Amino acid sequence: MNITGNKKSSYLIIGYGNTIRGDDGAGYQIAEAVAQWNFNHVRSLAVHQLTPDLAEAIAQAKTVIFVDAVATLSEVKIEQLTPNSATSFTGHYADPRSMLALTCALYKAIPTAYQILIPAVNFSFGETLSPVTRKNVDLALVKIKQLVSQQSSRRITTYDKTL
């Protein structure tokens, strides 16, 4: 992962999920879409899962937004997060709260953090989102753009999807 300089980005969007399991790739696709906005204060990472190596990028953000697809929702859910050191890593995988706790432990940094959960209904093999998830991806992108546009002045984005 390349992080240039010590300058904090205002926003870090981390979209994660399996891009070949239908709706599970929604978070990943959202991170890719955010990268196309070219906002200079937004960094976007599209990853398959949350891993400990993301802690450095999280520490350098003022606000981090985790985006994932879940099967148990009927509408987009946005919630603020706090670190939770009681949660643990399973192998190399972590949840957003444990990522925040790790970031705090390693870098003494706790950015403001949110989780955006996208309703998902199809986890079969394929790269196409279901109509339900596609609609909610579009809604989540509108909400993210409203949040990050408040600080947009110049438009250049750092994007890294190969972690």
What is the residue-level pLDDT of the chain in tens, covering all 163 positions?
333 344 567 999 999 999 999 999 999 999 999 999 988 899 999 999 999 999 999 999 999 999 999 998 889 999 999 888 665 555 446 799 999 999 999 999 999 999 999 999 999 999 999 999 999 999 999 999 988 886 544 333 333 443 3
What is the per-residue pLDDT for 147?
Answer: 86
What is the per-residue pLDDT for 88?
Answer: 56
115, two tokens: 């989780």
